[in-house]
Amino acid sequence: MLRDVVFEPSGTDSDEFTVSYWKIDPGERVGVGGELLVVESVEEKTALVVPSPFAGVLTEIVAREEHTIVPGALLGRIEVS
Amino acid sequence: MRSEPRLPAWLTRPLGDPARIQEVRKTISAHGLNTVCSEARCPNRGDCFGRGTATFMILGDRCTRDCAFCSVGHGAPEGPDPGEPAAVAAAAASLGLSYVVVTSVTRDDLRDGGAASFAETIREIRGAIPHAGVEVLVPDFEGRQAAIDTVLHGGPDVFGHNVETVERLYEGVREGADYRRTLDVLSHASRALGTARVKSALMLGLGERREEIEATLEDLRAAGVGIVYLGQYLRPSRAHRPVARFVHPDEFREWERRARAMGFSQVSAGPFVRSSYRAEETFARARTTAPGSSGAEKRPGAKERERSAEPHHA
């Protein structure tokens, strides 16, 4: 089943982030909590690693590097195993 | 397009535990309090809130100064809330804290700079959580020694006042403050409390030179500071002073070694180090590694605190 990965930066106060880079490529497998991508926000003063909410195979990257994203944004899709 | 350079890899960290973060936020909010963690957009807040800790910021959320590195709001503040000291103690007890750090906005509008509120907050915390350590991080009180004495009479375990940057950069970074006055505040506290319980912090990456960092550390030691923290300056918004450079973790380790060689009893240095970050761990180390010193290995009793807080004149 294909599941959307939505950006939910719990515990942060920022409403705008920039995608720095993905830590895995489409076709690669990831576990729950595995590192998916890194985002940045000036207001957070740090880069944050976004964990995977699902176990499965990353099939699509929607939020590409350098893109600006907001909470609730679609990051990509995972084929859940 | 990206308008900022990418942060170096060593400034990457995981998102905090959302459930615990929400719990801390709800507790703080339910008591009508502020934290410097949120107001200053501290990069550690996810980590600290996730571990159930926070640094309380008393005397409102508006500062009478407007430092170029800080995102705490500024403007004309309201009068102190008389219920705030008890609210801080209740929130700290509710969060199960065993070490409480209390700081404030700068209140140049108040006759005592808010010193009485610090003392009262310490007393309330002592009443609510007798076993807890209490650390204060105070403004410079415009150098008024009577205000510093008022705080010391409250009986903090650790007295902190941050030098923030090197002397040359005060103008432009810390408007309204004075480097020598900050050293005097620390010196006065050290004469009363002892070196091992006086703390200061310095941000790197604001444009300071190596020899200036060295000189600042020497000045802090000469002022009687025993605990020093060094961390990376990170600007809280694009309207704030830009980061001059990102200091590599290896350089922070060098500064840590250098500071220890200078005689600081407790040193914490690293990109994410902030003056209250994991302060409870430094305090615990100080208690176990400084036997026989006048430091934090043993909290003084009330009478002892009264005595130790008497003004000393060199």
Query: Average model confidence (pLDDT) for chain B?
Result: 88
Cβ atoms A65, A19 nearer than 8 A: yes
Judging contacts by C-beta atoms under 8 Å, the chain A residues touching residue B41 are 13, 43-45
Q: Which long-range contacts (CB under 8 A, 24 or more apart) does B82-86 make?
A: B84/B33, B84/B58, B84/B59, B84/B117, B84/B121, B85/B58, B85/B117, B85/B120, B85/B121, B85/B123, B85/B124, B86/B124
| pLDDT of the residue at B289 | 64
* Structural domain that includes position A28: 2-80
Interface pTM, i.e. ipTM: 0.77
The closest of B82, B87, B83, B84 to B128, measured between CA atoms, is B87
Residue B314 lies in a domain: no
Q: How many residues in chain A?
A: 81
* Structural domain that includes position B67: 15-308
Residue B131 CB: number of other CB atoms within 10 A?
8
d(CA B36, CA B53): 12
Q: pLDDT digits over B230-249, tens only?
A: 999 999 888 899 999 999 99
Q: How many domains does chain B have?
A: 1
Residue B304 scores a pLDDT above 70: no
Residue B190 lies in a domain: yes
**Cβ–Cβ below 8 Å for A42 and B2:** no
In this complex, which of A8, A11, A46 lies closest to B7 when CB atoms are compared? Answer: A46
Q: How many domains does chain A have?
A: 1
Residue B268 lies in a domain: yes
Mean local confidence (pLDDT), B246-263 = 98
| pLDDT of the residue at B161 | 98
Residue with tokens 């200053």: B40
Chain B contact present for A36, CB below 8 A: no
| pLDDT of the residue at B6 | 76
pLDDT: which is higher, B41 or B60: B60
| pLDDT of the residue at B4 | 59
Q: pLDDT digits over B9-28, tens only?
A: 899 888 766 777 888 889 99
Report the CATH number at residue A55.
2.40.50.100
Instruction: Please return the burial class of A1, using the count of CB atoms within 10 Å of its CB with bins 0-12, 13-18 and 19+.
Output: exposed
Judging contacts by C-beta atoms under 8 Å, the chain A residues touching residue B16 are 10-11
d(CA B172, CA B69): 9
Chain A contact present for B236, CB below 8 A: yes
Per cent of chain B over pLDDT 90 is: 66
Mean local confidence (pLDDT), A52-61 = 96
Q: pLDDT digits over B119-159, tens only?
A: 999 999 999 999 999 999 999 999 999 999 999 999 999 99
pLDDT: which is higher, B286 or A62: A62
In this complex, which of B13, B43, B236 lies closest to A49 when CB atoms are compared? Answer: B13
Residue B7 lies in a domain: no
Residue B154 lies in a domain: yes
Judging contacts by C-beta atoms under 8 Å, the chain B residues touching residue A11 are 15-18, 21-22, 45-46, 49-50
Q: pLDDT digits over A3-20, tens only?
A: 999 998 876 778 889 999
In this complex, which of A18, A20, A50 lies closest to B15 when CB atoms are compared? Answer: A50
Residue B90 scores a pLDDT above 80: yes
Residue B274 lies in a domain: yes
The pLDDT-based confidence of B278 (bands split at 50, 70, 90) is: confident
The pLDDT-based confidence of B3 (bands split at 50, 70, 90) is: low
Q: Cα B187 vs. chain centroid, distance in angstroms?
A: 16
Chain B contact present for A53, CB below 8 A: no
Report the CATH number at residue B98.
3.20.20
Size of interface A-B (CB pairs under 8 A): 71
Residue B1 scores a pLDDT above 90: no
**Cβ–Cβ below 8 Å for A11 and B6:** no
Closest CA in chain B for residue A36 = B14
| pLDDT of the residue at B290 | 53
